[in-house]
Amino acid sequence: MSVHDSRLHAFRADLADERLRGSVEAERFVPGRPARIAASIADLRRAPRPDAEMDSQLLFGEGIRVFEESEGWAWVQAERDGYVGYVAGTAVAPIATDATHVVSAPRTFIYPGPDMKLPRSGELSMGSRITVTGHAETRGTKYAVLASGEAIVARHLAAKDVFAGDYVAVAETLLNTPYLWGGSSGFGIDCSGLVQLALRMAGRAVLRDADQQGETAGVAIDAGPAYENLQRGDLVFWKGHVAIMTDAANMVHANGHTMLVSREPLDAAVERIGYLYGKPTGFRRP
pLDDT tens digits, 153-202:
999 999 999 999 999 999 999 999 999 999 999 999 999 999 999 999 99
The tens digit of pLDDT for each residue in 177-191 reads 999 999 999 999 999
Helix (H) or strand (E) holding 198: helix 191-201
Q: Percent of the chain scored above 90 by pLDDT?
A: 96
In contact, 42 and 57? CB cutoff 8 Å: yes
Burial of 138 (0-12, 13-18, 19+ CB in 10 A): middle
| pLDDT computed for residue 1 by the predictor | 45
Burial of 158 (0-12, 13-18, 19+ CB in 10 A): middle
For the full predicted model, state whether its pTM sits above 0.95: yes
Q: Percent of the chain scored above 70 by pLDDT?
A: 99
Question: Stretch 4-10: mean pLDDT, rounded?
Answer: 96
In contact, 107 and 168? CB cutoff 8 Å: no
In contact, 187 and 133? CB cutoff 8 Å: no
Question: Stretch 2-12: mean pLDDT, rounded?
Answer: 90
Q: How far apart are CA 135 and CA 85, in angstroms?
A: 37
pLDDT band at 3; cut points 50, 70, 90: confident
Question: Stretch 63-82: mean pLDDT, rounded?
Answer: 98
Q: Please give the domain boundaries of the chain with CATH numbers for all domains.
A: 16-93 (2.30.30.40), 101-159 (2.30.30.40), 167-285 (3.90.1720.10)
